[in-house]
Amino acid sequence: MKYLLMLLSSCIFYACTGTATDSTTTNADTSNKQTKETVLISEEVSEPDPTDPEPSDSIPASRYGENTSSNITAEIVRTSLNSLFKDDLSKGLIDSFSRRFIFFEYDLNSDGQKEIFTGLTGPYFCGTGGCTFYILNAKGVTVSKFTVSDYPIVIDNNVTKGWKDLFIQTGGKFHIIKYDGKKYPSNPSLQPLLKLIPGDGLPRALNYMAEPYPWFRF
């Protein structure tokens, strides 16, 4: 009888211990699972940086320049381009790749308001001779349009009729572009050649090949 009671006590002890161990293991597994699910949920609901003009790329918002990344300016340019190319957009003539732009803000005539250099890309706007650029005023109205032009546009210190001269490259050579009182001439290839290479200290607009630029869509 004594041995029977000892055997029963041992069985009860091991049964309780086993149950406790299983319960501890189950609770640990559940806790780990909940932790992993919490991490996954946190990753799924994380919001993109609202200040980043191009969240689809790997460049943080802090690396973009203040003259190239304003969402307000981007909307001004977008509205202008949608108006300029309204007919071709409605006909589907402008492909998706060509519906992208970059910009650079700079005060060309010292009136306290920055003009907006606008660079375009894609087969609709670019060909073997170069691409199409625009200069818009602060409200998005076209000041000048350039064809067969290459990136970037160099801004000179010299002023003609109140506006700074530009050096625009076409056919591998820089040409001097001067304001005529109403606008800049549209075809750089017809303007005088610049015999020297523009200095590194001069501002370079739309210099996306050397600096991080966000590409916006219209």
Q: Minimum mean pLDDT among 41-55, 76-90, 120-134, 160-174: which range?
A: 41-55
Q: Is the pLDDT of residue 198 over 80?
A: yes
What are the boundaries of each domain within the chain?
14-45, 61-217
Q: Which residues, including other chains, have CB under 8 Å from residue 2's CB and lie 6 or more apart?
A: none
Burial tier of 138 (Cβ tally within 10 Å: 0-12, 13-18, 19+): middle
Q: How far apart are CA 137 and CA 151, in angstroms?
A: 20
Average of per-residue pLDDT across 193-213: 95
Q: What's residue 49's pLDDT?
A: 65
Please give the model's pTM, rounded to 2 decimal places: 0.75
Q: How far apart are CA 5 and CA 137, in angstroms?
A: 99
Q: Which of 147, 71, 149 is nearest to 103 (CA)?
A: 71
Q: Coil, strand, or helix at residue 102?
A: strand
Q: Is the pLDDT of residue 43 over 60?
A: no
Q: Give the DSSP H/E element, type plus range, for residue 35.
A: helix 2-45
Q: Check the CA dihedral 88-93-99-101 and report its sign.
A: negative
Q: What's residue 59's pLDDT?
A: 77
Q: Give the chain's mean pLDDT.
A: 85
